[in-house]
Amino acid sequence: MPVARPETSDSRIIAHVDMDCFYVQVEQRKQPHLRGQPTAVVQYNSWKGGGLIAVGYEARKDGVKRSMRGDEAKKVCPQIQLVQVPVARGKADLTIYRNAGSEVVSILARKGRCERASIDEVYLDLTEAAETMLKETPIESLESIDEEVLKSHVLGLCLNGKDDKEIVREWLTRRDADHRDKLLACGAFIVAELRLQVLQETEFTCSAGIAHNKMLAKLASGMNKPAQQTIVTLSSVKGLLEPLPIKKMKQLGGKLGSSLQTDLGVNTVGDLLQFSEEKLQDIYGANTGTWLWNIARGISGDEVEGRLLPKSHGSGKTFPGVRALKTLASVEKWLKELCEELSERLQLDLETNKRVAHTLTLHANAYKSTDTDSHKKFPSKSCPLRYGAGKILEDSVKLFQAGLREFLGSYMNPVSGGWGITNLSVSASKIVAAPSGTSSITRYFHGQDRFHTSSEPSDEKFKLEDDKLSPLRTENHSASHQTECGGEQPQVTHDTSSFDRYETTCKDEATEGCLTLQNHEPKPRLPEKEKNINDEKPSYGQKRKATKEKGTSSILRFLQTNSCSSSNQETKCLSSGLQEALDVENESLIESQNNRRASQWRYNIDEIDQSVVEELPPEIQDEVRTWLRPQKQANTVKRGSNIAHYFSPQK
């Protein structure tokens, strides 16, 4: 869910730096003879010349596009150089690009707080640096100004194509300029210098947007590429935003954007301006309403997070068309590859950065051959992460089983086929600093081993991801979630809008080998009494209500299934291979249903895993925590309260 944060100040100086045709530049540095040549990077598979994932600017001039395959690119640009993405474990290996991104980050971080937003994008908070510069070096008295700064594009400034640099120079050095514009001018100097340092030290060019907040800086960085920078002045904000298609705005690429279009007739950001904050709050809830009102006016208080390392690690692969995985054995084989890669990267992160990840998540895209329910998605599943490739694989297999069972429903037997997996990925998130000192790290892992004595994850630790728990939980997870994938992955929506949207939509073959930015769809919190603009149509609010109910039953199912599975079944399930396990799971499901009918429900509160609790709706979390306080346990459970409702045998 978008969070409406008020601007702490409209004098912040924020830059968004985006590398130009990044993978192509990395390959050109590796093979200097490619410099200046039309070049594109293709995914490793050779069908129709492979899918293009990065296109150099020389090739773009000839009409080559990222949506093309290698063969098509050769038709429009016969001299194009196609470079294959490195391959490891039968899939794309992005290590060189990741490392190249880290080189750039370490340079950009020199002047202020720096947030690594993706493999080739960075936000910088340059407020302090700009203020210091303004105090120490008044720009109006500068005699010579670097070309790179003079090449800046200042939005709203009228250029004539002849004396552009002079006009920019005047703007930069105006004595009577507003303080905020003076700070922006300083930002332009600082960013130009950083971009030059990146070029000198890494040979890479990049482009940047400089503005008073992250949203505007991001919108501007792609406006003039390659190797240029764009400044968003306060006076230009209205003109910049008004014509923008609403779906292009960050966090509006999904359902919320569609609701604005269909329910309110809002197609551009300008259209949103006619709605009062109260009206938007009435429809979408207080927070989302305010957020919408703010973004229409270019207001966004999002802070640049000081983070030079990725938030999560992922390893994935797509299996398009005939390559879809149709047997459990093939899924297990690929999971092994993915888990090994993930484990290596986790190990490296631990050794290099002393960080540990806490959550393992399995995502997949699937279809049923006899599909009557084609909109149904394979549910993402997560559990506490245990270190070691073997353990990660074991847990991933369990997560896959759980997801497949849910995807197919109780009437379809996973073993008998009739399904296909077109995308598979595992990711590790909730990465935090490891306890300091090597001995602590060792203790940490010993502790983990003790916890998982059987090396088997207990069923209680498997939980439904996101929407599956409850709608509120989804809202809690609306913050952007970035995964640098080590393999073939879903789409990247690298337009000016939704780079950190959670688009579960996937991927055609051309997206293989790509970096994935996985984020959560904004889910507005709805007001208690939902007011619909159009009572005829099912509104966004009504849809959400339906989801809520669905979420409630899902969590119930989850808790009950877990608590009902007998230890005998569990042991059998865990010690067998995937096929056998799925048979057992089916039996277990039937038995758990019977158990439910017989009201043999039991849930041992001591077995509630903390990370499961964290995924529950906030009010439920509070109540569970109250339960977990032993001395108060007996007195604090409120009869008829929400938690009792979720956990009650009758349900």
CA 313 to centroid of chain Cα atoms: 11
Q: Which stretch binds ligand DCP (CB under 6 A): 13-21, 76-84, 376-384, 427-435?
A: 13-21
Q: Are 483 and 312 in contact (CB under 8 A)?
A: yes
- Asked if 217 touches ligand DCP (CB under 6 A), the answer is no
Tokens coding 313: 């690690």
- For ligand DCP, give the closer residue by CB, 12 or 16: 16
- For ligand DCP, give the closer residue by CB, 96 or 628: 96
SS3 assignment, position 84: strand
- Asked if 23 touches ligand DCP (CB under 6 A), the answer is yes
- For ligand DCP, give the closer residue by CB, 120 or 125: 120
- For ligand DCP, give the closer residue by CB, 226 or 301: 226
C-alpha closest to that of 156 among 232, 217, 268, 270: 232
Residue where the block lists tokens 């409630």: 552
Contact set for ligand DCP, span 598-637 (CB under 6 A): none
- Asked if 204 touches ligand DCP (CB under 6 A), the answer is no
422: which DSSP letter?
E
Catalytic annotation, pick one of 27, 121, 484, 488: 121
Contact set for ligand DCP, span 219-248 (CB under 6 A): 225-226
Contact set for ligand DCP, span 302-361 (CB under 6 A): none
CB of 482 to ligand DCP, least distance (A): 13
- Asked if 68 touches ligand DCP (CB under 6 A), the answer is no
CB of 54 to ligand DCP, least distance (A): 3
- Asked if 294 touches ligand DCP (CB under 6 A), the answer is no
Q: Are 419 and 324 in contact (CB under 8 A)?
A: no
Please select the residue that binds ligand DCP; options are 12, 15, 16, 20, rule is CB under 6 A.
20
SS3 assignment, position 602: coil
Distance, CA of 336 to CA of 88 (rounded, Å): 13
Question: Mind giving me the DSSP string for 118-159?
Answer: ETTEEEEE-HHHHHHHHHHS-GGG-S---HHHHT-EETT---
Distance, CA of 341 to CA of 314 (rounded, Å): 9
What is the x/- site pattern for ligand DCP, positions 113-152, by CB under 6 A?
------xx--------------------------------
Q: How many angstroms separate the Cα of 453 from the Cα of each of 397, 447, 482, 554?
A: 19, 10, 32, 29
Q: Residue 439 CB: number of other CB atoms within 10 A?
A: 9
The strands making up 52-55's β-sheet, listed across from edge to edge, are 52-55, 39-42, 81-84
- For ligand DCP, give the closer residue by CB, 107 or 402: 107
- For ligand DCP, give the closer residue by CB, 38 or 285: 38
C-alpha closest to that of 333 among 317, 320, 321: 317
- Asked if 540 touches ligand DCP (CB under 6 A), the answer is no
Residue 530 known to be catalytic: no
- For ligand DCP, give the closer residue by CB, 472 or 515: 515
Distance, CA of 6 to CA of 135 (rounded, Å): 27
φ, ψ (nearest 5 deg) of residue 310: -65, 155
Q: Position 412: which residue type?
A: M
- For ligand DCP, give the closer residue by CB, 365 or 588: 365
Where are the alpha helices (H) located in 6-69, listed in sequence order? 22-30, 57-61
Beta strands in 540-648 (DSSP E): none
- Asked if 19 touches ligand DCP (CB under 6 A), the answer is yes
Q: Which stretch binds ligand DCP (CB under 6 A): 17-25, 363-371, 568-576, 625-633?
A: 17-25
Contact set for ligand DCP, span 406-425 (CB under 6 A): none
Please select the residue that binds ligand DCP; options are 1, 12, 14, 22, rule is CB under 6 A.
22
CB of 35 to ligand DCP, least distance (A): 16
CB of 500 to ligand DCP, least distance (A): 13
- Asked if 252 touches ligand DCP (CB under 6 A), the answer is no
CA 416 to centroid of chain Cα atoms: 34
- Asked if 573 touches ligand DCP (CB under 6 A), the answer is no
Contact set for ligand DCP, span 466-505 (CB under 6 A): 492, 494
Tokens coding 566: 């007998």
Where are the alpha helices (H) located in 565-605, listed in sequence order? 567-575, 578-597
C-alpha closest to that of 424 among 536, 336, 306: 336
- For ligand DCP, give the closer residue by CB, 20 or 394: 20
Please select the residue that binds ligand DCP; options are 515, 584, 616, 620, rule is CB under 6 A.
515
Please select the residue that binds ligand DCP; options are 1, 4, 13, 53, rule is CB under 6 A.
53
- Asked if 18 touches ligand DCP (CB under 6 A), the answer is yes
607: which DSSP letter?
G
Binding site for ligand DCP (CB under 6 A): 18-23, 53-54, 119-120, 225-226, 492, 494, 511, 513-515
Active site residues: 121
